[in-house]
Amino acid sequence: MVLTPVDFLLLGVSLAAPLALFLLTIRPYLRYLVRRGLVQDDLHKRPPTKVPSPAGPLIFLCAVAGEVVVYLVFGTLIPIALIGCATVSFAVGMVDDFRVLGAKTKPLLLLLSGVPFVACVVLDPNLYNASIAFPFFGSTSHHFLTYTVLIFAAFPIVANAFNMVDGFNGEVSGFSVLTSLALVFAIALRLAATPGYPIARLASALPLVAVSVGFFLYNRYPSRAFDGDSGSLMLGTLYAGLAITGGVDVAAIVAIMPAVLNSFYVLSSVRGLVERRRMGGRPTYIGDDGKLYASKEPGAPATLARMILLDGPLSEQELVGAVLKLTIVSCLLSALTSILTWVV
Amino acid sequence: MRLLPIVGILLVAWLLMIAEVYAFFNVILASEPPVSELGRLSALALLKVGSTVGLGVLWFVVMQGLAELYTAERIKTKTPTPSS
């Protein structure tokens, strides 16, 4: 499929509108948070600094505004389904930001993110394709029931994976920028290779890129804003929803592999779902030299950051740089997966 | 150099994940009986459930093994502590 100049213009609007809205409103919003006393200690600084939090509500509103633009331009149900699932996870995150939810309650509530999807697929059976495309082998046959069950499972898994890489300045925002770009690449490649593939599926992914880039500018070291659980859970849910509607599930999972492995190692090391404030120890700690060290406590969760620090201490910037380098590797593997699936 | 072993773990996770998802959708789900009849207790239905669990266990064992190998090696030789 060849895109026309009008298509490029519409895609540009889908990207620029939420980004412009975010950049115009973030400063007054952060001042509002400070006035209300909504600040959080940045525990990786000596002494801890106060950072406005949560920026999640603004990230959510700008992403929704972007999806509304896509809906008005393309008139498809895809952005409505995405707004629905993002709203559920944002609401769960907001409750968690102000009243801490239990370790098992949060994923259970996040299962509800799948409800708007299933409701929308009743109205539009083409909302998602219940098969998975593989490199070399092509697409599987349709398995609507199994695929729909997996959709319900995907939202809490991906949302929590994003939430669990939200530990250091610029970590989750940089991760979201890189992985959303890999997602856009996968969808664009599928659009180019598949006749009749709707351009709205690509346009729907651009607001996620926009809010991730905008937020990264304020979340990178030294952070001027934290997203809170409302932001990270919503970013993860939107990512999962876009992977499903875009039909690029395998490439999308590959891109977020560092976060998936991080969640897996944390859950296996603390033996199940444990609220992070109740874990046996912290995975990392700050030395007197201001650098981050890997904890040697037996009960400390085995995070990706801790694994990296086992090789020696790093500054916070260096550590986040290492995590993002691993994310770049996984995004390149995702791009390779996309090329092997849609081009070769 | 620091990241190379973790990049290796990522590569193994990538290959294993693609192989396992393919096996799940193209071999387990595609074989008889169809998933809608899994409620009917049969040897094949049990085999399908068992194979699915087996895929999960395989991923768990390989990933856990690689992480433990990496962690044990690093704790034994490299992890420093702050001097003060």
Q: For A47-51, which contacts have Cβ atoms below 8 Å and span 24 or more sequence positions?
A: A49/A222, A51/A223, A51/A224, A51/A225, A51/A226
Top pLDDT among B48 and A245 is at: A245
Residues recorded for chain A: 344
Is the residue at A325 inside a domain? yes
The parent domain of residue B27 ranges over: 4-76
Is the residue at B55 inside a domain? yes
Percentage of residues of chain B with pLDDT beyond 70? 77
Nearest-angstrom CA–CA distance, A261 and A263: 5
pLDDT digits (tens, 9 = 90+) for A112-159: 999 998 899 888 888 888 888 888 777 877 888 888 888 999 999 999
Residue B82: its chain A contacts at CB < 8 A? 287-289, 291, 293, 313
| pLDDT exceeds cutoff 90 at A295 | no
Query: Where are any strands of DSSP class E within chain A?
Result: 39-42, 49-52, 133-134, 138-139, 284-286, 292-294
Is the residue at B82 inside a domain? no
| pLDDT exceeds cutoff 50 at B5 | yes
* pLDDT band with cut points at 50, 70 and 90 for residue B84: very low
Å between A188 CA and nearest CA of chain B: 21
* pLDDT band with cut points at 50, 70 and 90 for residue A318: very high
Residue B2: its chain A contacts at CB < 8 A? 308, 311-312, 322
- Placement of tokens 């995907």 in the chain: A154
Is the residue at B38 inside a domain? yes
Residue type, A79: P
| pLDDT exceeds cutoff 60 at B15 | yes
Is the residue at B33 inside a domain? yes
Output the pTM of the full model.
Answer: 0.91
Nearest-angstrom CA–CA distance, A174 and A323: 9
Is the residue at A226 inside a domain? yes
Mean pLDDT of A293-318: 88
Note whether A85 contacts B: Cβ–Cβ < 8 A: no
* pLDDT band with cut points at 50, 70 and 90 for residue A296: confident
Could you give the number of structural domains in chain A?
1
Q: Which of A290-294, B33-37, B74-78 has the highest mean pLDDT?
A: A290-294
| pLDDT exceeds cutoff 60 at B83 | no
Q: Which of A97-106, A114-123, A216-225 has the highest mean pLDDT?
A: A216-225
Beta-sheet pairing, A49-52 with A39-42: antiparallel
Give the number of other CB atoms < 10 A from CB of residue A123. 10
Mean pLDDT of A209-236: 96
Out of B7, B18, B80, closest to residue A326 by CB: B7
Cβ <8 Å between A293 and B81? yes
Tell which residue, A249, A80, A74, A59, has the closest CA to residue A166: A59
Is the residue at B58 inside a domain? yes
Nearest-angstrom CA–CA distance, B56 and A288: 42
CA distances from A228 to A8, A330, B13 (A): 34, 25, 29
Å between B7 CA and nearest CA of chain A: 7
Could you give the number of structural domains in chain B?
1
Residue B80: its chain A contacts at CB < 8 A? 293, 312-313
Is the residue at A290 inside a domain? no
Residue A287: its chain B contacts at CB < 8 A? 81-82, 84
Cβ <8 Å between A131 and B25? yes
Cβ <8 Å between A288 and B84? yes
The pLDDT assigned to A62 comes to 97
Helix axes A114-123, A78-98, angle to 10 degrees: 160
Cβ <8 Å between A293 and B13? no
Is the residue at B84 inside a domain? no
Residue type, A110: L
Interface of B with A in 35-74 (CB under 8 A): 35-36, 60, 63-64, 67, 70-71, 74
Q: Are A165 and A242 in contact (CB under 8 A)?
A: no
pLDDT digits (tens, 9 = 90+) for A164-211: 999 899 999 999 999 999 999 999 999 999 888 899 999 999 999 999
Is the residue at A297 inside a domain? no
Nearest-angstrom CA–CA distance, B47 and B49: 5
Is the residue at A221 inside a domain? yes
DSSP class of residue A314 equals B
Residue A144: its chain B contacts at CB < 8 A? none
Note whether B2 contacts A: Cβ–Cβ < 8 A: yes
β-partners of residue A51 are A40
Q: Are A63 and A70 in contact (CB under 8 A)?
A: no
Top pLDDT among A85 and B52 is at: A85
Nearest CA in chain B to A254: B14
Top pLDDT among B36 and A120 is at: A120
Cβ <8 Å between A288 and B82? yes
Is the residue at A284 inside a domain? no
Of A67-71, A108-112, A207-211, A298-302, least confident by mean pLDDT is A298-302
| pLDDT exceeds cutoff 90 at A277 | no
Cβ <8 Å between B2 and A254? no
Mean pLDDT of A281-295: 88
- List CB contacts of B22: < 8 A, sequence separation 6 or more: A134, A137
Note whether B11 contacts A: Cβ–Cβ < 8 A: yes
Mean pLDDT of B41-62: 82
Nearest-angstrom CA–CA distance, A115 and A88: 9
Is the residue at A127 inside a domain? yes
Q: Are A269 and A302 in contact (CB under 8 A)?
A: yes
Cβ <8 Å between A134 and B22? yes
The pLDDT assigned to B22 comes to 83
Note whether A307 contacts B: Cβ–Cβ < 8 A: yes
- Placement of tokens 């991080």 in the chain: A262
Q: Cis peptide before A47, with omega less than 30 degrees from 0?
A: yes
The pLDDT assigned to A243 comes to 96
- Placement of tokens 């070291």 in the chain: A221
| pLDDT exceeds cutoff 80 at B43 | no
Å between A307 CA and nearest CA of chain B: 7
Is the residue at B45 inside a domain? yes
The pLDDT assigned to A18 comes to 97
| pLDDT exceeds cutoff 90 at A45 | no
Mean pLDDT of A99-113: 89
Cβ <8 Å between B17 and A146? no
The pLDDT assigned to A129 comes to 85
Percentage of residues of chain A with pLDDT beyond 70? 97
- List CB contacts of A161: < 8 A, sequence separation 6 or more: A236, A256, A259, A260, A262, A263
The pLDDT assigned to B81 comes to 57
Residue A296: its chain B contacts at CB < 8 A? 75, 79, 81
The parent domain of residue A260 ranges over: 5-274+315-342
Tell which residue, A252, A248, A238, has the closest CA to residue A209: A238
Is the residue at B81 inside a domain? no
Top pLDDT among A246 and A2 is at: A246
Nearest-angstrom CA–CA distance, A87 and A306: 32
**Two tokens, residue A238:** 């939107």
Is the residue at A132 inside a domain? yes
Percentage of residues of chain B with pLDDT beyond 90? 23
Task: Transcribe A102-115 into DSSP letters.
Answer: PTTHHHHHHGGGHH
